Amino acid sequence: MSTPLPDDALARAQGGEPAALSLIYRSLSPAVQGYLAGRGSEDPEALTQEVFLTVFAKLASITGGMPGLRSFAFSVAHARYVDELRRRTRAPVLVGYDASGDTRVAASAETVALGNLDTSAAQGMLAQLKDEQREVLLLRIVAELPIDQVAEILGRSAGSVKQLQRRGLLKLKELVQTTESEAL
């Protein structure tokens, strides 16, 4: 859950108040980064920085108060993710370093701790959804956007967004139940 922003945070940020800019970033960036990670961004942290560079550059033109700011931030995040996908399709395939074959190093404490988190299972389940369902669920749940703003970002009707959300949640429920029954 993101940190709630005071109603005057946008106006203060538009006035150039550094504390308001920082507050907006701290409040919205975790959800933006979660959205980008859930979509499969190669570097969600860097992409989040790009999103906020754009948001802060266009701050004066944002209307609609805090909901307008939130909607604009996720519209920019969506656009930056699409840009990343386009870059990936044009870029050559890079072969990464395979640490498992290198016997000179031991796993760091950070690697061990991160390995204990089960984010890969969640990302694996999200990857099994249709792109539209995954997009809607990430914007609704991770970004905490209302249906009308998700519909605006994706260029769909509110009814279409509701249907995609319902089908995506049903598919996730099915995947969780299958995983649980396989574990028994």
Q: Return the higher-pLDDT residue of 68 and 117.
A: 68
SS3 96: coil
Which one, of 98, 83, 11, lies nearest residue 43 by Cα? 83
Q: Which CATH number fits domain 1-91: 3.40.50.620, 3.30.499.10, 2.40.40.20, 1.10.1740.10?
A: 1.10.1740.10
CATH architecture of 111-184: Orthogonal Bundle (1.10)
Number of Cα atoms under 13 Å in the Cβ half of residue 161: 21
Give the CA-trace dihedral at 17, 13, 49, 75, to 10 degrees. 180
Domain ranges of the chain: 1-91, 111-184
Average of per-residue pLDDT across 103-114? 56
Q: How many residues appear in the chain?
A: 184
Percent of the chain, pLDDT > 70? 84
List Cα–Cα distances, 121 to 17, 117, 178, in angstroms: 41, 9, 13
**pLDDT bracket for residue 116 (50, 70, 90):** very low
**pLDDT bracket for residue 142 (50, 70, 90):** confident
Rounded CA-CA distance 71/81 in Å is 15
Do 71 and 149 meet the contact criterion of CB atoms below 8 Å apart? yes
**Predicted pLDDT at 3:** 63
The dihedral built from the CA positions of residue 71, 153, 31 and 146, taken in this order, carries a sign that is positive
The dihedral built from the CA positions of residue 129, 170, 164 and 135, taken in this order, carries a sign that is negative
How many Å from the N-terminal Cα to the C-terminal Cα in the chain? 32
